[in-house]
Structure 1
């Protein structure tokens, strides 16, 4: 995903603060939504967000109770940053023990907040996907292993099955050099008779299809191919 497509939910009962956060985050290219209570937040599709910014002290349900519900009952692993005036050591420990990714005490600078948002999003990028091996992302290129889709900037690129498997091999083993024989055996298997030229043809086609990213698919003369950003 690109930064512009990252979705952030702001959960805070201070309307003015929410509007300031929303304005500044959207100025950075993020897509934001606001919930003015924990209950309102629970009514949203929380799995669709890449990050939650939660106030601790809110009406009936606190931010601590909300994250506890999100983690234990809903089993959602979306990253969470607490924004709160509660900054004692016990409050910090409570937040982290409940599964928070960061904890920012009020008052805070917007520059610091945005910097921490970027760190948490970068740290968590593809974490869940890496666990279940369903999505592999490199910059703006995304391989969906379930749907067998490949997209660049959310635009689908048609790949043959072998091209898809070759790209998957390189995405999962960046900078590793594969000889033509190794690629043949891993992609076509040992029981299929194909030539080294088959590898060259497929990689040439693949380079063209991934456009400006084609330069990442490199050749080391005498050794083989490798993928390096």
Structure 2
């Protein structure tokens, strides 16, 4: 029998929290539930978890703040925001913090289970032998495992998703990377909100690579992205 995946769950609605916790446990997950935002970080520090489910609108400390602190403590643990807030600004803020998904209430609990399993499955599958460690992009050296890009004496640290996206672009250098391919491989979903999140990450990567004019990430309208490196320039 395999060990159950452990979910760190933060939700202040006692009725909803109790129902969802029971449903997750019925689906063979172990769940630690915290109902007050100010207690969340201390509880997270004291346990070992595989994924986090975070409500946004919480008493004392909101879910965005908790997500930010969790990302400082653990750069790799995936988390999902559960919230009634569906404004574009809130969704983008959630993804910018590093969330793997942003689900608005009310939602289908079966869909939530599928999303959790998909995220956990992606995290557990790590075909290291098939992934290059380093990529040379013009004057930049991209080290995928270390999640850094370096030019001269300047080094930029990347988030896990930034590194994954840049790796896919490198693997398809000077060729089209279809939008759907990147979304499904990294986010496991090609919906509207994840597509907007990827656009944010593309913008960040462009800024990181701005010091070498031979490198350009082009947006091919309606199709995807093209990492173009002009080797004819010095």
Instruction: Provide TM-score, normalisation by structure 2.
Output: 0.50
Indicate the SS of the match to 1:43. Answer: helix
1:88 aligns with 2:84: no
1:1-229 pair list within 5 angstroms? 2=2, 4-46=3-45, 48-72=48-72, 74-125=73-124
Once the two structures are TM-superposed, the CA of residue 75 in structure 1 deviates from its matched residue by 3.9
Alpha-carbon offset, residue 76 of structure 1: 4.1
Paired residues, number = 128
TM-score, reference length from structure 1: 0.52
Distance 1:59 1:114, change over 3 A: same
Task: Output the CA distance in 1 between the equivalents of 2:37 and 2:123.
Answer: 23
- What is aligned with 1:161? none
Q: Sort the Cα spacing of 1:39 and 1:76 in 2 relative to 1 into closer, same or farther, 3 A.
A: farther
Inter-partner Cα distance in structure 1 for 2:27 and 2:93: 30
Match of 2:119, SS? helix
Query: Which residue in 2 is equivalent to 1:173?
Result: none
**Cα distance, 1:122 vs structure 2:** 1.1
Question: Cα–Cα, structure 1 residues 76 and 20, in superposed 2: closer, same or farther, change >3 Å?
Answer: same
Q: Distance in 2 between matches of 1:67 and 1:49?
A: 14
Displacement after TM superposition at 1:45 (Å): 4.0
* Structure with bigger gyration radius: 1
Measure how far apart 1:39 and its partner are: 2.1
How far residue 27 of structure 1 moved from its aligned partner, in angstroms, is 0.8
Shift of the alpha carbon at 1:58? 0.4
Shift of residue 38 of structure 1? 2.3
